[in-house]
Amino acid sequence: MKSTMSPRSVVRLPGGGAATGLDEDPRVEDSVPAALRVIVSHPAKQGNVYHRPRAAEIAGMDVRFLTGLYFRPARFPYFLLPWLPRTLRGRLMQLLEKRKIDRLDDDSVVSLLGPSLELALRPTGRFREWGNAHDWLASWWIATHRRSSTPTILHGFQGSCVRTFRAGRSKGMIRVLEMTLPPILDTALLGGVAGEPGDPQASELAAEIKEADFILAQSEYSARTAIVLGAHEEQIVRVHLGVDTSCFRPREHERMPGPVRVLFLGGTSRRKGIHHLLEAWGTGGIPGAELSIAGNRTSGWDAPAIEDFANCRLVGFIPENRFTIALQNADILVNPSLSEGGSNVIYEALACGLPCIVSSNAGSAVRNGIEGFVVGVGDVPALRSAMQGLCLDSPLRERMGRAARGRAESLSWDRYAENLAVVYRRLARPSKAREFCLNSRF
């Protein structure tokens, strides 16, 4: 069933506008469109994307979610699952349950080619082709539908929407580009390593920015990068991501004895800043602390062997059913990434009560000196100093850990839904939208 909330309902940003820095003024209600249509387009390779159409539907907006594989048990081919062998059925159900979200009407979802596109391209790692194919299909869907008299927000995502936006422009839609992973424009940060040059998608992102009316930035680094690639400040609205605070929460058991546990999650690529982390850790390590590096090892990685560093171990890929436990068993998260939009793992670590040490290009929701430390990207001495400070000061870790959990509770997915609904309504008011962007803050 569709939400029964009136489209004219005013959504107020809790806590004085935590995501955008603005309160919703009830006096502007008459200037907000009486009805608003929202089209979200994404091939759905990131689960948190589902929160965008869900937010619009909860707020009473007319929603269409253009995607690929989305699990609707009563529809083909998913209603065939009961006829599969039990073991195979169980494995598929475990995967498919992640490809849906509560409080989003199945009738709002338009599966462009269903699971076919993903099954053809994802196993081979051809994500760029996958995004391009989805973009073509979404643009065709928009082009074949009549122009609506209702104000329409077209919400697209980096790497999959330049054609979609062109089709939306012809229909008079308000085009909102969400940046998910800003390119690394400063190739010197990569250390000039062959095989890891500056991000080749920069020119493609610049083309999407050119077609967009507004840019939705998940981090301040995203906002800065958008400006370098051609966006104007009055086009950019800043909105934090959310986190599931019921799934990710501080450990309830007593801490296991042993050294202070510093955790890095993200794989051993230079984009994630692993070379800066190892240099900061040093061959002698940090007294009384242990560094665990989790994630897939990047092929061709030329960094020294992990065994050359004291109290440092490579734990490899962490399966989903162990992910929360890994965070709860850690004491500190470190993420010196060279480029992040809104990093899910940082939000999840905050929800688990971990103080976080992050680079200025991976800051997400961490406020320097409150939930952890934000150091300059590539600033190895500052990174080592931050790790030493937190490892050696137990009261500081505890204080920042409590602040981290409080920060996460203010950024739940329900809070995100309320904030995003405000953003949609504000951007649908042409006379005020750019002022709204200029006043948005993290």
Residue 57 in domain: yes
Residue 51 in domain: yes
Q: Is residue 297 pLDDT above 80, yes or no?
A: no
Share of the chain above pLDDT 90, in %: 66
Nearest to 64 by CA among 152, 140, 162: 152
Task: Label residues 340-351 b or e (16+ Cβ within 10 Å = b).
Answer: bbbbbbbbbbbb
**What would the pLDDT profile of 149-171 be if each residue is shown by its tens digit?**
899 999 999 999 999 999 999 99
Residue 248 in domain: no
Say whether both 346 and 237 belong to one domain: no
Question: Is residue 92 a contact partner of residue 84, using CB atoms and an 8 Å limit?
Answer: yes
Q: Is residue 215 pLDDT above 80, yes or no?
A: yes
How many degrees, rounded to 5, is the angle at CA 426 between CA 360 and CA 346? 25
Residue 199 CA, distance from chain mean position? 18
Say whether both 37 and 152 belong to one domain: yes
**What would the pLDDT profile of 83-132 be if each residue is shown by its tens digit?**
999 999 998 898 888 899 999 999 999 999 888 888 888 778 788 899 99
Residue 196 zone, left/alpha/beta (φ > 0; ψ -120 to 50; rest): beta
Residue 230 CA, distance from chain mean position? 22
Q: Is residue 59 pLDDT above 90, yes or no?
A: yes
Question: Is residue 262 a contact partner of residue 331, using CB atoms and an 8 Å limit?
Answer: yes
Say whether both 399 and 434 belong to one domain: no
DSSP bridge pairs for 176: 155, 214
Handedness of CA 42, 43, 49, 50 (dihedral sign): positive
Say whether both 384 and 427 belong to one domain: no
What would the mean pLDDT of 321-331 be, rounded to a whole number? 93
- Burial class of 355 by CB neighbour count within 10 A (0 to 12, 13 to 18, 19+): buried
Question: Is residue 338 a contact partner of residue 270, using CB atoms and an 8 Å limit?
Answer: yes
Residue 194: the pLDDT is: 40
Say whether both 205 and 316 belong to one domain: no
Residue 298 CA, distance from chain mean position? 22
Q: How far apart are CA 357 and CA 362, in angstroms?
A: 10
Question: Is residue 260 a contact partner of residue 288, using CB atoms and an 8 Å limit?
Answer: yes
Q: Which residues contact 381 (CB under 8 A, 6 or more apart)?
A: 280
Structure tokens at 123: 């196993």
Q: How far apart are CA 75 and CA 159, in angstroms?
A: 29
Residue 285 zone, left/alpha/beta (φ > 0; ψ -120 to 50; rest): left
Please, which pLDDT band fits residue 184 given cuts at 50, 70 and 90? confident
Say whether both 146 and 264 belong to one domain: no
Residue 37 in domain: yes
412 DSSP 8-state letter: B
Nearest to 114 by CA among 50, 52, 48, 44: 44
Residue 255 in domain: no
Residue 118 in domain: yes
Instruction: Give the range of the structural domain holding residue 381, as residue numbers without chain letter.
Output: 260-409
Say whether both 297 and 400 belong to one domain: yes
Residue 213: the pLDDT is: 98
Residue 13: the pLDDT is: 39
The 3-state DSSP composition of the chain as helix, strand, coil percent (nearest 5) reads 40, 15, 45
Q: How far apart are CA 8 and CA 61, in angstroms?
A: 9
Please, which pLDDT band fits residue 29 given cuts at 50, 70 and 90? very low
236 DSSP 8-state letter: E
Nearest to 61 by CA among 34, 35, 29, 40: 35
Can you tell me which residue has the tokens 């990434």? 337
Say whether both 37 and 128 belong to one domain: yes
- Choose the weakest-confidence range: 24-28, 224-228, 235-239, 359-363: 24-28
Residue 1 in domain: no
Cis omega before residue 77 (within 30°)? yes
Residue 8: the pLDDT is: 32
Structure tokens at 155: 């919400």
Task: Label residues 156-189 b or e (16+ Cβ within 10 Å = b).
Answer: bbbbbbbbbbebbbeeebbbbbbbbbbbbeeeeb
Say whether both 129 and 170 belong to one domain: yes
Say whether both 132 and 43 belong to one domain: yes
Q: How far apart are CA 55 and CA 186, in angstroms?
A: 35
Say whether both 62 and 158 belong to one domain: yes
Q: Is residue 78 pLDDT above 80, yes or no?
A: yes
Please, which pLDDT band fits residue 64 given cuts at 50, 70 and 90? very high
What would the mean pLDDT of 236-257 be, rounded to a whole number? 92
Instruction: Give the pTM.
Output: 0.89
Total domains present in the chain: 2
Residue 194 in domain: yes
| CATH number of the domain where residue 274 is located | 3.40.50.2000
Say whether both 372 and 286 belong to one domain: yes
